[in-house]
């Protein structure tokens, strides 16, 4: 199944964040096995302030609902064109075309399409609605030592909602993992940290100029926040995406290793670059900046893991960066 187009959502979503009472959820994945201990449900929150060149989820970056279009399902019946209040749709050169300047991501076309060729990416949910979904598997969490992982995008982009959700999960005694890039208000991090059982903390590049070049932001606040959590004694697994030619040079690894040793953070996940996201960019008519990058070999990843183990780290290889 191909996703042929993703239409940028409008500045006028049906519902707003309502002061943190609503969160924009991109996906809810049950039975997740790689997002923390045990069997988990992963809640993907939409929006991220970084633009990493290797991001495999470009549809998770914007803080607005968006519409996916699956050309291979579309029969060109025109039903969606008839119901679109914005006049954003037309058939052009044998495919359904959307004018992103007109589309408001209101979703009538999604409702009208009998073959599910259009799909809403991002739905506004209350904390109670998320709790109702994730609580379906509470027995599995209890039996496996699992729980709920908040991922993204960047969950802390929706700070008020994430804070409410974490507190509600803890009231239900559900184990929580927060996956974060670390670009957040330190006061917020300090406040939420008692309700986070485990931080999955991204460490992409130690050199701030390179960090800014490849992600769009400098890394001083990210590194300071990692130190803050380490000083608070919070459980942390540092997740390092390994992007050949970008952050896998000896200097990059040595600097990361030295910083983590200084902080006393001993658990590291190495996440090899993969090409899963490349097609999405093309289908979204966005530029993918690493079209020819070859993923690292399994042997290369193991060499890197062995090197870090030799420096005292507990290292796992794998997962999705």
The residues binding ligand SF4 (CB under 6 A) are 67, 74-80, 84, 86, 88-89, 96, 98, 103-109, 112-113, 115, 117-118
| DSSP bridge pairs for 66 | 121
Torsion of CA 226, 180, 255, 317, to 10 degrees: 130
Q: What length is written for the chain?
A: 321
Whole-angstrom distance, CA of residue 207 vs CA of residue 296? 21
Helix (H, G, I), strand (E, B) or coil at 126: strand
DSSP letter assigned to residue 136:
G
Do the beta carbons of residue 40 and residue 32 sit within 8 Å?
yes
- Do strands 5-7 and 22-32 pair parallel, antiparallel, or not at all (unpaired)? unpaired
- Contacts (Cβ under 8 Å, ≥6 apart) of 171: none
Take residue 273 and report the two structure tokens written for it.
């670059």
Q: Least distance (Å) from ligand SF4 to the CB of residue 4?
A: 10
Whichever of 79 and 142 has its CB closer to ligand SF4, that residue is: 79
Q: Least distance (Å) from ligand SF4 to the CB of residue 70?
A: 8
- Contacts (Cβ under 8 Å, ≥6 apart) of 97: 89, 90, 91
Count helices and strands in the chain by DSSP H and E runs = 11, 14
Q: Least distance (Å) from ligand SF4 to the CB of residue 73?
A: 7
Helix (H, G, I), strand (E, B) or coil at 209: helix
Whichever of 102 and 255 has its CB closer to ligand SF4, that residue is: 102
From the number of C-beta atoms within 10 Å of its C-beta (0-12, 13-18, 19+), residue 181 rates as: buried
Q: Least distance (Å) from ligand SF4 to the CB of residue 297?
A: 42
Whichever of 64 and 129 has its CB closer to ligand SF4, that residue is: 64
Whichever of 89 and 166 has its CB closer to ligand SF4, that residue is: 89
Whichever of 77 and 160 has its CB closer to ligand SF4, that residue is: 77
Q: Least distance (Å) from ligand SF4 to the CB of residue 160?
A: 26
Q: Least distance (Å) from ligand SF4 to the CB of residue 100?
A: 9
Whichever of 90 and 309 has its CB closer to ligand SF4, that residue is: 90
Whichever of 98 and 158 has its CB closer to ligand SF4, that residue is: 98
Q: Least distance (Å) from ligand SF4 to the CB of residue 276?
A: 25
């Amino acid at each position: 199944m191909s996703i042929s187009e993703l239409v940028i959502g409008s500045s006028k979503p049906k519902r707003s964040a309502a002061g943190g009472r609503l969160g924009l959820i991109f996906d809810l994945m049950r039975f997740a096995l790689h997002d923390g201990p045990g069997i988990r449900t992963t809640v993907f929150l939409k929006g991220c302030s970084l633009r990493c060149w290797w991001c495999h989820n470009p549809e998770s970056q914007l803080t607005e609902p968006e519409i996916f279009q699956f050309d291979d399902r579309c029969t060109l019946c025109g039903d969606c064109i008839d119901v679109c209040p914005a006049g954003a749709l037309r058939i052009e050169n044998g495919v359904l075309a959307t004018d992103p300047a007109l589309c408001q991501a209101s979703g009538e076309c999604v409702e009208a399409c009998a073959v599910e060729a259009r799909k809403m990416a991002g739905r506004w949910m209350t904390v109670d609605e998320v709790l109702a979904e994730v609580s379906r598997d509470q027995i599995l969490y209890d039996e496996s030592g699992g729980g709920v992982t908040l991922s993204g995008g960047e969950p802390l982009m929706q700070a008020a909602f994430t804070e409410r959700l974490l507190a509600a999960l803890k009231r239900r005694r559900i184990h929580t993992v927060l996956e974060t890039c670390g670009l957040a208000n330190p006061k917020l991090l300090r406040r939420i940290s008692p309700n986070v059982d485990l931080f999955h903390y991204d460490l992409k590049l130690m050199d701030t100029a390179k960090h800014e070049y490849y992600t769009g932001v400098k890394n001083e606040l990210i590194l300071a926040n990692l130190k803050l959590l380490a000083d608070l004694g919070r459980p942390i697994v540092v997740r390092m995406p390994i992007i050949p030619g970008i952050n896998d040079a000896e200097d990059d690894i040595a600097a990361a290793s030295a910083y983590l040793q200084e902080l006393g953070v001993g658990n590291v996940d190495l996440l090899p670059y993969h090409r899963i996201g490349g097609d999405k960019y093309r289908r979204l008519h966005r530029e993918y900046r690493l079209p020819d990058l070859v993923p690292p070999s399994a042997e290369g990843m193991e060499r890197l893991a062995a090197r870090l183990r030799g420096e005292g780290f507990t290292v796992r290889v794998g997962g999705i960066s």
